């Protein structure tokens, strides 16, 4: 059996070994020598480790047992110092001498450290290895200010990770735009703007002259004399192929080790693969082409006929929260190309497709990169795009369904660009290996095992292949199918990491669908607004159609319009106005609702804005997840049994608690005496007026599963009723799962737990303050809307 020795235990080299084992597992006696003290790990996931999205243990590709199972002699923490090509052996720093018949050099690359004064100070780090990452995390625990030199892919990922670790971060970039190798100017500007919103700071067109400090980093000085204090400097200005061993033993080396299409050097017994290899004048630093090289190398070493490695067209995705981008091929137009450009500045979406001779030659996507893999596949294949429309960014007419697109996708089209896994490989593995979940597919094929952006496509293929045998619920145990994290875990991470937007949450926490789904989009929008009422701007597009249209959609596609009528009380003018609007717009049904309001049913969608404008009345929020209404009887104002003014208190509660979003709809009630005409004991919050005060009840439900309220306490004044209602609502807002009514919430938390919180003065005051803080933002938003409409009637209503 021939001896195969590989120097290097990184991604490209070990992938080559995996491919060799697939083709001919008994062909070689294999020894792998690595200078790091770890088994093979996913280097491109180090940014996720730094950002706190995953643990070091989770980025291991092949653990120790894999080497044993495959009879591989693994030597870790040992550096090769020389290669003797004549004797066909390598020597390590520990004096070991290992003979070979075939040698693979897979030494990768090292971070390029700018030769600046002070570059040898403690606190100057590259970003390439587990050790680099661990040192950055350790410094971030005790230091506060960092500088990242380099505004490229790696630099921005490092900066984001350090921000997540609590550091104040400046990115220093020599050029006027970020990621200039992957993005054009418009996309780069959008990227910079989004990163600045996340707290990243930039100094563009700056050149670092010196790193300041005596033994450790204290700051940096730029060529223009400006200085910036910092405790950590991360160099992210490029990589340098590790080719010194090859050069010392007489192999041809330019920028890297020169190889042919079969990854062979000038010595027929020596091969090179990965970042240390130069093929047709190109040295690659991205994982996809390196895996393609590994396949070509495996073919050559197992005697399989192939055309070898033909070079790669590069594509890039950024692993930074809230920044969804994809680029591939050319970036800038020239005299031979034309550009298809779609830009939505409001939504933060930019798409540019470069075309030459009816074929795609370049792609730049920002804000929505969901078309990236599809367009990149068309680019690599040279697809004629004559039949495609441009309005949807090169989508065939009628193609709107994701499953249809997956069904038509050719078997050889790449699904996982990081690991070079095709649709055909995934489908074949699902069928032959009885795979049923995403994790099964990832373990078997490695699809989705790197950046994870292909997960929706992988699960789409599972559904397409298994049909009724696909169990979507088995894919996750989390708050939705996009994540395994629970509601509490998501909310805790938002707090701990200071996340600022739903998109950032989905990216930082590794949601499999970067755009979210119908469950998590409205939920995250709610959680963000609940946690950050004064900072977060409501995302209307994440709300359900009822909330966007301010009316409940009916079964025939029309809507109901239900204005606010506090306590069911109205006026002659409002009644006349509702009648006139109903006649003008041919409203088929005008009805007194169960919540003591008047509803206009059957309003056409296109008439909704005009109906609301002409009514000049507040919405009754009959469609929303918030307080819908407070039902009350007339109480002591008119009823001979009434003990208190239940009508007035009901109106006061409704005015004090309206508008503020809650996890689900809420209904309250106030009854003037224990006869309970307002049916308050099945409300989310109920008040029973008695001679000596007001009895408070919580957690009732009058729906399909009736639940009677739990007694909370008795209070002496209306002001106390309002105080407890606010505290109760806010506590529910902050601890309930989005979509959970108060009845199951009370049962889940336990009535005694809720009582303990609400009856404690300090806790109650805290939640009242939090509720008032939130409500002020809704009032402000409503006031802004009023000014835009210049509607005096609406303005009078809001002045409560």
Of all helices (H) and strands (E), which one includes residue 640? none
List 626's β-bridge partners, or say none. 661
The pLDDT value recorded for residue 393 is: 55
Residue showing tokens 């996309």:
187
Q: Using CA atoms, how far apart are residues 741 and 222, in angstroms rounded to an integer?
A: 58
Residues in the chain: 800
Beta strand pairing call for 227-229 and 219-222: antiparallel
Q: CA nearest 155: which of 212, 204, 214?
A: 204
Q: Using CA atoms, how far apart are residues 196 and 298, in angstroms rounded to an integer?
A: 45
Please give the domain boundaries of the chain with CATH numbers for all domains: 2-108+241-301 (3.50.50.60), 124-237 (3.50.50.60), 487-543 (no CATH), 544-624 (3.90.480.10), 629-800 (3.30.413.10)
Of all helices (H) and strands (E), which one includes residue 105? strand 102-105
**Mean pLDDT per 10-residue run, the chain (800 residues)?**
96 94 95 94 86 78 91 95 97 96 96 94 94 94 95 92 92 95 92 90 96 96 96 94 97 96 97 96 88 94 94 78 82 90 82 92 88 83 79 50 65 76 88 84 80 75 76 59 82 85 84 76 88 80 65 74 84 90 90 83 86 83 82 88 91 90 91 90 93 92 82 94 95 90 90 93 93 82 50 33
From residue 690, give the alpha-carbon distance in Å to each of 4, 634, 673, 674, 714: 90, 14, 6, 7, 9
- Neighbour count for residue 783 (Cβ, 10 Å): 13
Q: Using CA atoms, how far apart are residues 8 and 121, in angstroms rounded to an integer?
A: 28
Q: Using CA atoms, how far apart are residues 681 and 697, in angstroms rounded to an integer?
A: 7
Burial class (CB in 10 A: 0-12, 13-18, 19+), 380: middle
The pLDDT value recorded for residue 637 is: 87
- Ramachandran class of 568: left when φ > 0, alpha when ψ lies in -120 to 50, beta otherwise: left
Q: Using CA atoms, how far apart are residues 282 and 312, in angstroms rounded to an integer?
A: 9
Name the H helices within 690-717: none
Q: Strand, helix or coil at 734?
A: helix
445, 450, 456, 458: CA torsion to nearest 10: -10
Q: Using CA atoms, how far apart are residues 412 and 798, in angstroms rounded to an integer?
A: 61
- Check whether 673 is labelled as a binding-site residue: yes
The pLDDT value recorded for residue 453 is: 67
**What is the torsional sign of CA 730, 735, 741, 743?**
negative
- Check whether 639 is labelled as a binding-site residue: yes
- Check whether 689 is labelled as a binding-site residue: no
Q: CA nearest 718: which of 645, 769, 610?
A: 645
The pLDDT value recorded for residue 799 is: 28
- Check whether 454 is labelled as a binding-site residue: no
Q: CA nearest 435: which of 469, 403, 406, 404?
A: 469
Q: Using CA atoms, how far apart are residues 627 and 69, in angstroms rounded to an integer?
A: 61
Residue showing tokens 């809720």:
754
Burial class (CB in 10 A: 0-12, 13-18, 19+), 37: exposed
- Ramachandran class of 649: left when φ > 0, alpha when ψ lies in -120 to 50, beta otherwise: alpha
Q: What is the widest separation between alpha-carbon atoms in the chain?
A: 112
Beta strand pairing call for 277-279 and 257-259: parallel
From first CA to last CA, the distance across the chain in angstroms is 89
Tokens matching residue 94: 């520990």
| Residue 699 · residue 706 · CB < 8 Å | no
The pLDDT value recorded for residue 475 is: 54
Residue showing tokens 């669908």:
513
The pLDDT value recorded for residue 404 is: 58
User: What DSSP letter does each residue of 218-251 carry, written as one string?
Assistant: -EEEETTS-EEE-SEEEE-S-EEE--HHHHHTT-
**What is the torsional sign of CA 94, 95, 100, 104?**
positive
Read off the DSSP letter of residue 569. -
């Amino acid at each position: 059996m021939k001896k195969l020795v590989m120097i290097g235990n990184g991604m490209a080299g070990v992938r080559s070994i995996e491919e060799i084992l697939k083709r001919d597992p008994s062909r070689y006696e294999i020894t792998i020598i690595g200078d790091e003290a770890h088994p093979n790990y996913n280097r491109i996931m180090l940014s996720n480790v730094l950002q706190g999205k995953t643990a070091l243990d989770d980025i291991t590709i092949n653990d120790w047992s894999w080497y044993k199972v495959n009879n591989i002699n693994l030597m870790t923490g040992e550096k090769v110092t020389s290669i003797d090509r004549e004797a066909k052996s390598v020597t390590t720093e520990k004096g070991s001498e290992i003979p070979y018949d075939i040698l693979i050099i897979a030494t990768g690359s090292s971070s390029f450290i700018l030769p600046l004064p002070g570059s040898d100070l403690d606190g100057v780090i590259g970003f390439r290895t587990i050790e680099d990452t661990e040192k950055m995390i350790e410094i971030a625990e005790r230091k506060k200010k960092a500088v990242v030199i380099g505004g490229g892919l790696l630099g921005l990922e490092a900066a984001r990770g350090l921000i997540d670790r609590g550091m104040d971060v400046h990115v220093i970039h020599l050029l006027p735009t970020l990621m200039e190798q992957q993005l054009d100017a418009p996309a780069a500007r959008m990227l910079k703007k989004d990163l600045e919103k996340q707290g990243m700071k930039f100094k563009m067109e700056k050149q670092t002259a010196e790193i300041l400090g005596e033994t450790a980093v204290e700051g940096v000085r730029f060529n223009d004399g400006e200085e910036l204090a910092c405790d950590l400097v991360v160099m992210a200005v490029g990589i340098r192929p590790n080719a010194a061993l090859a050069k010392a033993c007489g192999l041809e080396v330019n920028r890297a080790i020169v190889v042919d299409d079969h990854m062979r050097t000038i010595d027929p017994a020596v091969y090179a693969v990965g970042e240390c290899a130069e093929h047709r004048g190109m040295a690659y630093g991205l994982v996809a082409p390196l895996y393609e090289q590994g396949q070509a190398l495996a073919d050559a070493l197992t005697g399989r006929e192939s055309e070898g490695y033909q070079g790669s067209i590069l594509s890039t995705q950024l692993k930074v929260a809230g920044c969804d981008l994809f680029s591939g091929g050319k970036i800038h137009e020239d005299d031979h190309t034309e550009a298809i450009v779609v830009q939505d500045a409001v939504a933060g979406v930019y798409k540019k497709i470069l075309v030459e001779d009816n074929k795609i030659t370049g792609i730049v996507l920002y804000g929505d990169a969901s078309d990236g893999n599809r367009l990149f596949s068309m680019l690599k294949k040279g697809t004629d795009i004559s039949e495609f429309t441009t309005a949807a960014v090169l989508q065939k007419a009628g193609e709107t369904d994701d499953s249809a697109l997956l069904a038509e996708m050719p078997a050889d089209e790449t699904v996982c660009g990081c690991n070079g896994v095709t649709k055909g490989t995934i489908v074949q593995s699902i069928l032959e290996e009885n795979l049923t979940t995403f994790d099964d597919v990832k373990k078997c094929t490695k699809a989705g095992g790197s950046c994870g952006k292909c997960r929706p496509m992988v699960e789409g293929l599972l559904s397409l292949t298994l049909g009724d045998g696909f169990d979507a619920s088995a894919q996750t145990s989390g708050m939705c199918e996009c994540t395994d994290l629970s509601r509490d875990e998501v909310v805790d991470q938002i707090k701990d990491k200071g996340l600022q937007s739903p998109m950032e949450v989905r990216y930082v926490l590794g949601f499999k669908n970067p755009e979210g789904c119908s469950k998590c989009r409205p939920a995250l929008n709610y959680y963000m607004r609940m946690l950050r009422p004064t900072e977060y701007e409501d995302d209307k597009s994440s709300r359900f159609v009822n909330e966007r249209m301010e009316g409940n959609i009916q079964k025939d596609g029309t809507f109901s319009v239900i204005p606010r009528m506090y306590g069911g009380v109205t006026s002659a003018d409002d009644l006349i106005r509702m009648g006139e609007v109903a006649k003008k717009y041919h409203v088929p049904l005008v009805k007194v609702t169960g919540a003591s309001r008047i509803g206009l049913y059957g309003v056409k969608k296109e008439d909704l804005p005009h109906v609301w404008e002409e009514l000049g009345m507040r919405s009754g929020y009959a469609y929303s997840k918030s307080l819908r209404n407070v039902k009350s009887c007339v109480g002591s104002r008119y009823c001979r049994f009434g003990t208190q003014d239940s009508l007035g208190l009901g109106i006061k509660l409704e005015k004090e608690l309206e508008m503020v979003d809650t996890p689900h709809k809420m209904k309250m009630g106030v009854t003037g005496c224990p006869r309970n005409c307002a049916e308050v004991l099945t409300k989310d919050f109920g008040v029973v007026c008695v001679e000596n005060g007001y009895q408070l009840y919580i957690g009732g439900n009058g729906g399909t599963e009736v639940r009677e309220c739990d007694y909370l306490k008795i209070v002496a004044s209306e002001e106390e009723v309002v105080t407890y209602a606010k505290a109760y609502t806010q506590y529910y807002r902050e601890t309930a799962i989005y979509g959970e009514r108060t009845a199951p919430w009370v049962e889940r938390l336990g009535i005694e737990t809720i009582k303990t919180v609400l009856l404690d003065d300090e806790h109650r005051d805290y939640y009242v303050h939090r509720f008032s803080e939130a409500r002020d933002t809704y009032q402000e938003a409503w006031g802004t809307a009023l000014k835009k409409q210049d509607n005096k009637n609406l303005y009078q209503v809001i002045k409560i």
